[in-house]
Amino acid sequence: MKSIKNISCILFALLAMTGFYACEEEAPYTPAEALNTAQVYFPSTNAATINLSSLEHSFQIAIARVKTDDAITVPLTVSGGDGLYSIPTSVAFAQGQSATSITVGYDPDAVGFDTYSELKLSIGGDGYTSPYGLTEYTVSVGIPAPWVSLGMATYVEAFFSALYGVDDLQYQVEIQENQLTPGLFRLVNPYGAAYEYNDPGDWDDSRDWYLEIHAEDPTAVWIAVQDIGVNWGYGMIKVGSLAGYYIARGETLESQKAAGNTGTFENGIIRFPASTLLFGMANYNSGSLYLGNKNESFRVAMPGVVLADYSLEIAYAGKYTDAKGVDTGVLGQITAVGGDVESVRLAVVEGTDVDAAAEGIKDGSIESIEVPAAESTNLVPFAAAPVAGKYTIVAVAYGGGEAQTVASAELKYTPATGETWTAVSTGTYEYSLIFSGPDPGLTLYQSDADPTRWKIENWCYGVDFAFTYNKTTGEVLVDDQETGYVHSSYGSVYIDDLVDYTGGTSRGQSYYKDGVFYFAVIYYVSAGYFGYGYETFTITGSPIAAPKADFRAGSQKTFKGSTLSHKEFLRRTIPANFLR
């Protein structure tokens, strides 16, 4: 600090000395050179960008001069404009006139919207310019799209759930309407900073991205397939609607409305039927598009409109068997319910056609039960004697006297067989894929009716682990079955033998050797898998006979899948209803 003060003192001393000597000897004065030109220039108040009107055909550019004695015509050098603008090559000043302007003409249809061109104008000739004014003027001109902001809309996003295991999000997004086309809306950067599932670098923030929605006919709303500015590692993500997809291929809006592929704009809310929205990634499965909005949760609520919460989530919590050993229904667990849901109707149907089942519940053609709007576990009876196969619990939420949203949970049903079992040994199951650690003291049973049928009782989340072990051939094959675990986001978790799941032995093969069962398995949900590899069951009680044949034809190397996440999780099979 001391040195800084010293420097300041020195500077003050020098300034004082300079002032002293200036009084003793004055510097000579040289006047500026007189200018004989008209000194024409572009005023600095001219804008760098001019937004034109689609309803006009010309605009003005101001030009000024200092010397006004004579009437003159000043040449101009012009360039740019992409051939869209008619620009004069001279400007005329009347005697005594210090400022004027030139008129630049254009055709709005040729210019189009949001296409800006650069114009460059220069004062021609040294006899007209001035060293004190701008002799060149560069301006960007174009017609901005006629969008007007309506404010912040409430957006319920339901595209991403088509491929990724993420919940639908509700958040605020700016919405604009086209002045020339009433009912044509666009959301401004709906997948930018407001979309919480993005990681740094996922979103292209170099420009604005819009989601345009055609609601010109409020009874037939559609969305063209369009990029949204997000890349999660499989190329640019695009979204749209079934109607938009088919309209781009020559179908009419009326035909798409008749097919049930369009949405509605009613009471300030845009919504779409279940499975009529599309989602795809440029580099995944050749850019195929997948059906989204499975639960009919997609919404765009205009500013000021209060969006009711009709959200609903349901999970499969097991089957119900009566005292006589007869399966009478399944347990449907309502895990989340919106505050505006008044009641819920539940049904269990064979197969996985949720849309058809929901319509059947709504029109009464499918038997259902009505339960209060609360998180609860409910017995949902089978409509008829069930057979082995895939079933779905379908739930329809009601509010305001109408069906609002649909939720579903798939399950695999295996009927009770009345089969009896004999305990043959005990052992320890070692989990290593999505669960971890040893599970000791489990009992191993063998079927009394079929000696190749085995099970480990009270495995994982309290279910029986069934598999086949043929002592003659050495074959070991795990059943495709439930684990008893219900994931909060993905529903029931299943386990299957890798040979059955993949249709081959390239990923591993189950076998038995030296008192240890090596199970090559995969854990999966209805939309993808968590991990796959080997888990073991080591016999700790009475020994089990070794197989007569060595059935270890496949690789014994452990293949471990990555943990399921919203970005790593992709479908294991291609749905029948995808679009290329």
**Average pLDDT of span 202-221:** 96
Closest alpha carbon to 266 in 406, 146, 404, 407? 404
pLDDT over 90 percentage in the chain: 57
**Most confident residue range from 144-148, 175-179, 411-415:** 175-179
Mean pLDDT of the chain: 85
Do residues 121 and 129 lie in contact, with contact meaning Cβ atoms separated by under 8 Å? Answer: no
Question: Which H/E stretch holds residue 487?
Answer: strand 481-487
The residue that leads in pLDDT, 307 or 30, is: 307
If we measure between CA atoms, which residue out of 242, 236, 232 comes closest to residue 164? 232
Name every residue whose Cβ is closer than 8 Å to that of residue 542 and which is 6 or more positions away in sequence.
Answer: 424, 425, 426
Q: Are 264 and 215 contacting, i.e. CB atoms less than 8 angstroms apart?
A: no
Token duo for residue 110? 């040729």
324 has a pLDDT exceeding 50: yes
Q: Is the pLDDT of residue 22 over 70?
A: no
Higher per-residue confidence, 417 vs 513: 513
> Would you state the pLDDT for residue 259?
93
Handedness of CA 379, 380, 385, 387 (dihedral sign): negative
pLDDT digits (tens, 9 = 90+) for 399-455: 988 999 999 988 888 776 667 889 999 999 999 988 889 999 999 999 988 899 999
Report the alpha-carbon distance of residue 47 to residue 58 in Å, rounded.
Answer: 16
Nearest by Cα to 296 from 209, 371, 198, 394: 394
Question: How would DSSP label each residue in 120-165?
Answer: EEEE-STTT--TTSBSEEEEEEEB---EEEEEEEEEEE-SGGGTS-
Answer yes or no: are the C-beta atoms of 468 and 477 closer than 8 Å.
Answer: yes
- Predicted model pTM: 0.54
Cα separation, 519 vs 459, in Å, equals 14
Mean pLDDT calculated for residue range 13-40: 52
Please determine, for residue 178, whether its predicted confidence score (pLDDT) is greater than 90: yes
**pLDDT value of position 18:** 36
Burial of residue 250 (number of CB atoms within 10 Å: 0-12, 13-18, 19+): exposed
Question: In the 8-state DSSP scheme, what is residue 351?
Answer: S
Residue 187 near residue 154 (C-beta atoms within 8 A): no
Among residues 425, 447, 435, 433, the alpha carbon closest in space to that of 517 is found at 425
Q: What is the CATH number of domain 40-142?
A: 2.60.40.2030
- Strand partners for 459: 463
Asked which of 211-225, 342-356, 372-386 is least confident by mean pLDDT, the reply is 372-386
Burial class of residue 217, CB neighbours in 10 A (0-12, 13-18, 19+): middle
pLDDT of residue 172: 96
Closest by CA to 455, choosing from 526, 517, 409, 503, is 517
For residue 6, name the pLDDT band (cuts at 50, 70, 90): very low
Q: What does the pLDDT read at residue 578?
A: 41
Locate 454 and state its tokens.
């085995």
Give pLDDT, residue 26: 55
In sequence order, what are the residues at sequence separation of 6 or more whose Cβ sits closer than 8 angstroms to the Cβ of residue 233?
A: 567
Please tell us whether the domain made up of 312-413 is placed in CATH 2.60.40.10. yes
Between residues 158 and 576, the one the model is more confident about: 158
